[in-house]
Chain A
C-alpha cells in the first residue's frame, strides 16, 4: 500500500489548489485528520498535518511546531477565503512516511509490526534551584534504531511538568477520537514540597525514585502506542534539546477541538449502516461492562498488593528486631556452643531481614506501582468509551436540528421570501454536511476504539505476563537465598553439644 502514497510535501512548499477543491479536500482532510497516523495515506491530496500556531494566518509557515489540529477543516474554510491558495497545512515531519497506513487496515497488521526497537530510560534526578521554586530535572535517554528519530541515541533533560504538558497535548489530540492515551504520573504536593525544602531524608529519596520509575513507565507505555510514537509532540519531547515552553499549547487546541465537536458533530443518524451499528453497540456494551468489572477487580488486587508491601516491610522490621534480641540472648547464654549457635541464628535472621527488604522493593516496584498504573489506564479507557457516547449523543441532537431546519425551510417555501428561503436552503446544506461529518466522526471513533481496545487488551496481557514472570523470578531468587542461609546455619545448629 505504500506505493500508492504520494510523498508528503516538504515544509514550506505550498500546494496549489482552487477554492472549491479546497473545500472538498478540506472535508476529506478533516476525515483523515482524525487519524493522524494516516498522515500521507490518502492519494487524494497533499494532506499532512495541519498546523496551528496561533490564529494569525500569516504565521502559518513561520515555525515548524509539530501540532496536529483537528481544527483544520474549520480553519481551512476560513482560510480558503483568503487570497493565497497556498494556505495548505504542511507536513512538519517528512520522516513520517514510514508509518503509512489507513485506519481501515486490519488490526492484526498493526500488531505484526514488531520492529519495536526503542528503549527509554529516565535517570539522574537533579535538583535545580532552591526553595519553593526548586524542581527536579530528569535525564531522558532514548536509544532506538527507528528511522523517525534523528539520532540513534539522544539525551534530554526534562522536568515533571514537561511530562504533564506532553500528556495534556496528547490527551487533547487523541482521546476524543477513541485512542487510549496513557495517563501521566500523579502530582504530589507533599512529596515535592519535601524535596524542594531540601529534606534529604529517606522518604524524599524514595519519593524521587518512585516518581522517576513512574515517569519511565509512562514514556515506555506512550511510545508503545503506535499512534503516539509517531506523534510529533512525543518526538520533540524525546529529542529536542530545548525544554518546550510552558505555554500550554494543549489548552489552545483543547478548546478549539471541543468547539469543533460541538458545532459539527450533529449528524443525521439514519445514514449510518444499521447493521454495523447494531453489532457495534453490542460489542461496545460488552466491552464497557468488562472494563467496569476489570476496574473493580484491579483496584481490589492493587489494595491486596499494597497490603503485601506493608506487611513485608513490617516483617523486615520485626525480623531485624528479633535478630538483635537473639544476639543478646546468645550473649547471655552460658553454654558456649549454644551461645555461638544463637549468635549465628541472629546473623542469619539479619540476612533474611535484608532479603525481605529487597523483596518488598520488588513487590512494590514490579507489581504495586504497575497495578496503580493499570487502574489509571482503565480509567482512561473508560473515558474513551464515554467520548464515544458523547459523540453519539451529539449525533442524536443534530438530527433534531436538521429536522428543524428542514421544517423551517418548508415553512418559508410557503411564505414566499426568496432570500430567506435561499438562506434556509444554504443552512440545510450546511447542516447536511455537518451531519455527514458527525456520522463519519462517530464511525471513526468507534473504529478507533475497537482497534485500540483490541491492542490494549493484547498489550496489557503481554505486559502482565512479563511482569508476573519477573516477579516470580524475584521470588525464586529470594527462596534460593533463604536456602543458602539456612543450609549454612544447619551445621552450626548440629554442632551444639
Chain B
C-alpha cells in the first residue's frame, strides 16, 4: 500500500473521557498509546495494581482489537455472569474515511500544488487522529468497566488479557474452537418478543422492561441523527478549508491588483482559514467525541441491559417449564425427584438472576446519568471555548481588513 501512510505510527495520548471508572486504586487500567500498522491497531494496555492475584504491580502489554473481542466473548459465554450486564464490546477501529482520503491524495498528488498537498495531508492526519482518539477511548472504557466491577475484575481471562506478555492469538483460536460461539448462534431476534411476552410479577422489572424497550429505540434514533449532524458539520468545515484555499490562490496569482489595494491579504486569508475552518472542524470533532460517541456507547450498553433481561426472561421461562414438568411428573408418578431438583435449580437460577439483575440495572441507571452529565458538561464547555476562540480570531481578521 503506497501513500503517505503505508506505515505510520501515531502516538495518541488520551485522557479518559468516559465515566470515572478508575476510582479504585487497586486496579487501574488505561491505554496510554496506540500504534497503527497498516490495517491493524496495536493498543498498549497499561495496568497498575495492588492486588496480590497479579504477578506484578505494574506492566504494559500490546493487544489487538481481536483480543478485546475474544475477552468479551469469553465473558458473555460464562454462565456465572448471566445475571450481570456485560460491558459491550468495543467496535472495530474504522479507518475507512481517512483511508479513502488517502487514496484520493495519492491519486491526485501530481495535479496538486505543494501547498494544497501539504494541506490535504494535514487534514488527513487530523482525521486519523480523530478516529484514533475514538477507538482508544472505547477500548479503554471496555477494560475499565471490567476492572471496576467486583465480579469481572476477578475473571481469570481478564487477568490473562492484562498480564500475558505474549501474543494472545493462539489462545484466541483455541477459545473459538472450544465455545464455538453457541450463544451467538441463538436466535437473538427472539429477544424482544420473549421479553415483552413474559408475564412480569415484579414491579421493578416490569418498569425496567418497558423503559428499556422504549429507550433503546429512541437512543438508536438519536445516535443516527447525531451522526448525520456531525457529518454535515464536518462537511461545512471541509468547505471552508477549500474556500480559504481558493482565496489564497486568487490572492497569490492576481497579486498586482490585490497587493495594490489589499495588503497582507495572504496573512488574512490564512488567519481566516484557522479561525473558520479549523474551529468548525474542532467543534464538529468534539461534538462527535462527547455527544455522538456517548449516544453510540449507551446504545450498546442498553442492548447489554436488554440482554440481561433476556437471560432472566429465559430463566423464568425455564422455571415455568420446570414447574409444568414437575406437575406432569407428579401426575405420572415418575422421575419426581429429578423434576423437583430441576425445578429447584431453575428457581435458584432465576432468583439469582433477578437479584443481581436488579442491582446491575440500578447501578446502570446511575452510571448512565453520571456519564451523560459529564459528557454534556464537557461538550458544552468545549463548544463555548471554540466559539469564543473563533470570535476573537474573526474579530482580529476584521480589524486587519478594516484598517487596510
Binding site for B on A (CB under 8 A): 290, 293-294, 297-298, 300-301, 304-305, 307-308, 311-312, 314-315, 318-319, 321-322, 324-326, 328-329, 331-335, 337-338, 341-342, 345, 457-458, 460-462, 464-465, 468-469, 472-473, 475-476, 479-480, 482-483, 486-487, 489-490, 493-494, 496
Please tell me if the beta carbons of A461 and B236 are within 8 angstroms of each other in the complex.
Answer: no
A432 to chain B, nearest CB (A): 40
Please tell me if the beta carbons of B233 and A335 are within 8 angstroms of each other in the complex.
Answer: no
Give residues of chain B (382-404) contacting chain A, Cβ–Cβ below 8 Å: 383-384, 387-388, 390-391, 394-395, 397-398, 401-402, 404
**CB within 8 Å for A475 and B394 given contacts A490-B377, A494-B377:** yes
Please tell me if the beta carbons of A335 and B365 are within 8 angstroms of each other in the complex.
Answer: yes
In the assembly, what is the distance between CA of A312 and CA of B394, in Å?
Answer: 19
- Report chain A residues within 8 Å CB of B242: 304, 307
Please tell me if the beta carbons of A293 and B246 are within 8 angstroms of each other in the complex.
Answer: no
Please tell me if the beta carbons of A483 and B384 are within 8 angstroms of each other in the complex.
Answer: yes
In the assembly, what is the distance between CA of A315 and CA of B1, in Å?
Answer: 35
Question: Which of A326, A338, A462, A483 is in CB contact (< 8 Å) with B369?
Answer: A338
Please tell me if the beta carbons of B377 and A465 are within 8 angstroms of each other in the complex.
Answer: no
- Report chain B residues within 8 Å CB of A326: 222, 225
- Report chain B residues within 8 Å CB of A479: 387-388, 390-391, 394
B388 to chain A, nearest CB (A): 6
Please tell me if the beta carbons of B372 and A338 are within 8 angstroms of each other in the complex.
Answer: yes
Give residues of chain B (273-330) contacting chain A, Cβ–Cβ below 8 Å: 276
Please tell me if the beta carbons of B239 and A307 are within 8 angstroms of each other in the complex.
Answer: yes
Which A residue's beta carbon lies closest to that of B223?
A325
Question: Which of B48-56, B178-186, B257-265 forms part of the interface with chain A?
Answer: B257-265
Q: Which of A311, A338, A345 has the most CB of B within 10 A?
A: A311
- Report chain A residues within 8 Å CB of B228: 318, 321-322
Please tell me if the beta carbons of B253 and A297 are within 8 angstroms of each other in the complex.
Answer: yes
With an 8 A cutoff between CB atoms, is B113 at the interface? no
Please tell me if the beta carbons of B404 and A465 are within 8 angstroms of each other in the complex.
Answer: yes
Please tell me if the beta carbons of B214 and A318 are within 8 angstroms of each other in the complex.
Answer: no
Which B residue's beta carbon lies closest to that of A309?
B239
Which B residue's beta carbon lies closest to that of A299?
B246
Please tell me if the beta carbons of A458 and B401 are within 8 angstroms of each other in the complex.
Answer: no
**CB within 8 Å for A322 and B225 given contacts A328-B218, A329-B219, A338-B369:** yes
A489 to chain B, nearest CB (A): 6
**CB within 8 Å for A332 and B388 given contacts A322-B222, A341-B376, A461-B257:** no
- Report chain A residues within 8 Å CB of B222: 322, 325-326, 328-329
Which A residue's beta carbon lies closest to that of B378?
A493
Q: Which of B238, B246, B258 has the most CB of A within 10 A?
A: B246
- Report chain A residues within 8 Å CB of B256: 290, 457
Question: Which of B231, B236, B238, B243 is in CB contact (< 8 Å) with A301?
Answer: B243
In the assembly, what is the distance between CA of A52 and CA of B257, in Å?
Answer: 39
- Report chain A residues within 8 Å CB of B404: 465
In the assembly, what is the distance between CA of A482 and CA of B261, in Å?
Answer: 34
Please tell me if the beta carbons of B383 and A486 are within 8 angstroms of each other in the complex.
Answer: yes
Which A residue's beta carbon lies closest to that of B382?
A486
Known A312-B236, A325-B225, A476-B391; 5 more pairs at CB < 8 Å: A304-B239, A325-B222, A472-B272, A487-B384, A496-B369
Question: Which of A304, A335, A457, A493 is in CB contact (< 8 Å) with B261?
Answer: A457
- Report chain B residues within 8 Å CB of A472: 272, 394, 397-398, 401
- Report chain B residues within 8 Å CB of A464: 262
**CB within 8 Å for A311 and B232 given contacts A322-B226, A328-B218, A458-B261:** yes
In the assembly, what is the distance between CA of A164 and CA of B240, in Å?
Answer: 35
Chain B residues bordering chain A, tally (CB within 8 A): 58
Which A residue's beta carbon lies closest to that of B384?
A486
In the assembly, what is the distance between CA of A294 and CA of B246, in Å?
Answer: 11
Which B residue's beta carbon lies closest to that of A367?
B243
**CB within 8 Å for A308 and B391 given contacts A321-B225, A475-B276:** no
- Report chain A residues within 8 Å CB of B218: 325, 328-329, 331-332
- Report chain B residues within 8 Å CB of A458: 257, 260-261
- Report chain B residues within 8 Å CB of A293: 253-254
With an 8 A cutoff between CB atoms, is B359 at the interface? no
A-B pairs with lowest CB-CB distance, top 10? A315-B232, A308-B239, A457-B257, A301-B246, A461-B261, A322-B225, A496-B373, A311-B235, A493-B376, A318-B229
Question: Which of B240, B257, B381, B395 is in CB contact (< 8 Å) with A308?
Answer: B240
Please tell me if the beta carbons of B376 and A476 are within 8 angstroms of each other in the complex.
Answer: no
Per-residue CB contact flags for chain B residues 236-255 toward chain A (1 = under 8 Å, else 0) read 10111011001101100110
With an 8 A cutoff between CB atoms, is B95 at the interface? no
Please tell me if the beta carbons of A294 and B391 are within 8 angstroms of each other in the complex.
Answer: no
- Report chain B residues within 8 Å CB of A337: 369
With an 8 A cutoff between CB atoms, is B380 at the interface? yes
Please tell me if the beta carbons of A305 and B243 are within 8 angstroms of each other in the complex.
Answer: yes
With an 8 A cutoff between CB atoms, is B221 at the interface? yes
Please tell me if the beta carbons of A290 and B219 are within 8 angstroms of each other in the complex.
Answer: no
In the assembly, what is the distance between CA of A476 and CA of B399, in Å?
Answer: 13
With an 8 A cutoff between CB atoms, is B59 at the interface? no
In the assembly, what is the distance between CA of A311 and CA of B397, in Å?
Answer: 24
Please tell me if the beta carbons of B225 and A476 are within 8 angstroms of each other in the complex.
Answer: no
**CB within 8 Å for A476 and B398 given contacts A325-B218, A332-B214, A490-B377:** yes
Question: Which of B207, B365, B373, B394 is in CB contact (< 8 Å) with A476?
Answer: B394
- Report chain A residues within 8 Å CB of B402: 469
Please tell me if the beta carbons of B215 and A465 are within 8 angstroms of each other in the complex.
Answer: no
- Report chain A residues within 8 Å CB of B394: 472, 475-476, 479
Please tell me if the beta carbons of A297 and B369 are within 8 angstroms of each other in the complex.
Answer: no
Q: Which of A468, A487, A489 has the most CB of B within 10 A?
A: A468
In the assembly, what is the distance between CA of A304 and CA of B236, in Å?
Answer: 10
- Report chain B residues within 8 Å CB of A496: 369, 372-373, 376
B223 to chain A, nearest CB (A): 9
Name 19 interchain pairs, CB-CB below 8 A, sorted by A: A300-B249, A315-B232, A322-B222, A324-B225, A326-B225, A328-B218, A335-B368, A338-B369, A338-B373, A345-B376, A457-B260, A458-B261, A469-B398, A472-B394, A479-B388, A482-B383, A490-B380, A493-B380, A496-B369
